[in-house]
Structure 1
Amino acid sequence: MTWTWTAPAGRALSGTLGIAALLAGARIAGPRNKVLWTAALAPDTALLLGASAAPTWRQLPRYAIGPYNALHSPAVPAALLTAAALTRHRSLLVAGLAWFGHLGWDRAWGYGPRDADGFVAGRERAGEGGFRADRAGTARPGLAAPGPRRP
């Protein structure tokens, strides 16, 4: 079995690792540490960049996709943790753990990188009317049924 954040087991693993990383950072620096919470929230600054121009709450505008994907890449906490190991700087360690915790939490809730249209990559999109049918043509659970057709 291959790990993927789009599968339930991968989402559970992502959430567990994310919470463990955030708790480890809080244990090292304290639960009210500014570096911890700044790094835990920093990846979502890209959402603020595109929030006012987003076509829907599910889709980012094109200019915000690159920053969002860059800030939500595992390379960022990996670089922070590598720098912490090389320099033995506690703040870098805390920032790396908090950033990793944010990514794990996002993946646990099904949020990953965005595709070229600004939607979460790997997720099925709702149709134009908010309806998505499976192969048999029946409505999928949790999604809105289609309303009456307009002329």
Structure 2
Amino acid sequence: MPLITVHYSTPRPATDLKPRIAAAASDLAATILHKDPKVTAVIVEQVDPADWFAAGASLADQNLASFWLDIRIVDSSNTKDEKAEFIAATYARMGELLGPLHSESYVHVNGVRADGYGFGGLTQEQRYIARKLAVAPRQAAIA
């Protein structure tokens, strides 16, 4: 149930870029971080290259693209290696979509506490407990 927010800027004109970015972010979260795409939300916002500054100059002046992707997941639900793979794959995929990237392009895998994060009115911790209670615990054999 991640929430993914992507801000991007590119000098490349493209009419269908937002849905492609959303699909790429959701797909990477599913394939690398094992997040269910049925409960993944993605917000995509475009920023004018003249309004995005990196290393003291606008992206418009540098003729480069950039992005900031923030994904919120339950803390400890993924390994360090999975998160590193997600960051590398996201950077590569955004470069394919947006064009040459400024090195100041970011991915933030934001691990949040299960008791303070949820959707549909329930925290992830409540969902975890409900799943555990739905599976009957094994009774110890009486000797």
- The TM-score normalised by the length of structure 2 is 0.29
Question: TM-score under structure 1 normalisation?
Answer: 0.28
Which of the pair is proportionally richer in helix?
1
Name the structure where strand makes up a greater proportion of residues.
2
